[in-house]
Amino acid sequence: MSRYLFVVPPLVGHVNPTVAVGGELADRGHEVAWVGHPATLRTLLPEGALVLPALDDELERRIQDARRRWLRLRGMAVVKFFWEDFVIPLARAMVPGVESAVRGFAPDVLVADQQALAGPLVAHRTATPWVTSASTPAELLRPLKSLPKVEAWVDAQIEDLVREFVGRPTPDIRFSERLVLVFTSSALVGDGFPDHYAFTGPALSHRPDRTDFPWDWLADGQRRVLVSLGTLNGAAGQRFFGEVAEAVADLRGVQVVVVGPPDALAGAPDHVLLAERVPQLELMPHLDAVVSHGGHNTVCEALAHGLPLVVAPIRDDQPLIADQVVSAGAGIRLTYARVRAPEIRGALEEVLDRPGYAEAARRVQQSFQAAGGASTAADHLEAVVA
């Protein structure tokens, strides 16, 4: 049997796919560990999972503070801040812990999230085989290719980091030359990628969720909609949630679950439920549509259940993901910053009432099922060792 070490940032959407893949590997008798921020990981991993530290609470707090500041930026300041104040500092902070984990756990393969660059840095320093975990396909599609000077600047930041920790040039550490696990399918991103890019579809198994939910609130004979801006954007979504509340205020025959902070809605009607957290995967089979910011995890979870979407992307990879949903015919895109209640209501009624959206979502669902999810990812990881 082999040993696999997952290197992950303190971000829920980046940890979740590794939970499924790690669980599949463990079921096959392999030894599996995660290295990152222990407090974050222990809330997401099954009890008894081996967690190794690479970020203490103070460092994690600084990283999350940087992420919150990043949310307030616009334009090219977003890209600059993302690399200079998040990805690069996170890599520097995690290298000592990841190196200690590699030397102590002695993995046969290191599986590094694309935003946890400490993984490939340490892999090169210790001659450990490594592969990429791409929790979103954004980097694979070169989102800055239309801005060559900006793309070159990003490349230079990565090259400087490699010189600092490895001391010699390496291929792009965002993409392993052995294996890149991509948790989506060609139905969304198309074809034409190198052979060692494995499109597995979303990996959703083995994920524990200890979140309570008032299941008896769900009424028979009602259609149901989930509204979520994700774990990072929800606190900043006051205006959007207000427009949603107005959009669904007199929407009959539909129950709406809104995931947001306690003050996200004022005086919500009985058919609207506000919760700070929900057991999202467990809730998906009970839904008819999802309103989302375009986070890759939420979008793929919805499509994996054949659910059409209304997508209002905010930043980062979200516009790209939203365009993929629209191109697949599985949803409608709105403009987050300017959207008003009538647009939200119109889009929601359209994806609920026009069967073409649900049919397109089910076609994507079928492509995900064919891709194999965590089982296929585990097959590829075993092949790296073999």
pLDDT tens digit sequence for 324-368 = 999 999 999 999 989 999 999 999 999 999 999 999 999 999 999
With a cut of 60, say whether residue 20 has pLDDT above it: yes
Both structure tokens of 67: 């992420």
Q: What percent of the chain has pLDDT over 90?
A: 75
Nearest-5° Cα angle at 191, 184 to 4: 45
Helix (H, G, I), strand (E, B) or coil at 295: coil
With a cut of 90, say whether residue 191 has pLDDT above it: no
Dist CA 365 CA 368 (whole Å)? 5
Place of tokens 């290191």: 110
pLDDT reported for residue 359: 98
Of 3-12, 274-283, 312-321, minimum mean pLDDT range: 312-321
Q: Provide the pairing of β-strand 50-53 with 109-113.
A: unpaired
Contact present, 169 and 177 (Cβ < 8 Å): no
Q: What percent of the chain has pLDDT over 70?
A: 98
Containing H/E element for 181?
strand 180-182
For residue 159, how many other CB atoms are within 10 A of its CB?
14
Q: Quick one: average pLDDT of 266-286?
A: 92
Average pLDDT, the chain: 92
Place of tokens 């040993």: 3
Q: What is the pLDDT of residues 242-256, one digit of tens each?
A: 899 999 998 889 999
Alpha helices in the chain (DSSP H): 12-27, 38-44, 57-71, 76-81, 88-105, 118-126, 148-165, 186-189, 230-233, 238-248, 280-283, 296-304, 318-327, 341-353, 355-371, 373-385
Q: How far apart are the first and last CA of the chain?
A: 11
Both structure tokens of 286: 């009970």
Contact present, 166 and 148 (Cβ < 8 Å): no
With a cut of 90, say whether residue 115 has pLDDT above it: yes
The secondary structure of residue 87, as a DSSP letter, is I
Dist CA 253 CA 242 (whole Å)? 20
- Orientation angle between helical segments 318-327 and 296-304, nearest 10 degrees: 20
Dist CA 88 CA 9 (whole Å)? 12
Dist CA 66 CA 81 (whole Å)? 8
With a cut of 60, say whether residue 233 has pLDDT above it: no
Dist CA 323 CA 198 (whole Å)? 22
- Give 228-262 as a DSSP string: E-HHHHGGG-HHHHHHHHHHHTT-TTEEEEEES-T
Both structure tokens of 183: 């948790």
With a cut of 60, say whether residue 118 has pLDDT above it: yes
Residue 339 makes CB contacts below 8 A (sequence gap 6+) with: 240, 243, 312
With a cut of 90, say whether residue 209 has pLDDT above it: no
Nearest-5° Cα angle at 19, 325 to 162: 85
Dist CA 130 CA 124 (whole Å)? 9
Paired residues of 211 in beta bridges? none
Position 175 confidence tier, pLDDT thresholds 50, 70, 90: very high
pLDDT reported for residue 236: 54
Contact present, 380 and 176 (Cβ < 8 Å): no
Both structure tokens of 362: 């089910």
Helix (H, G, I), strand (E, B) or coil at 48: coil
- Total residues found in the chain within this entry: 386
Containing H/E element for 130?
strand 130-134
Q: What is the pLDDT of residues 51-91, one digit of tens each?
A: 999 988 887 888 777 777 766 777 777 788 889 888 999 99
Q: Provide the pairing of β-strand 50-53 with 31-36.
A: parallel
Both structure tokens of 66: 């940087």
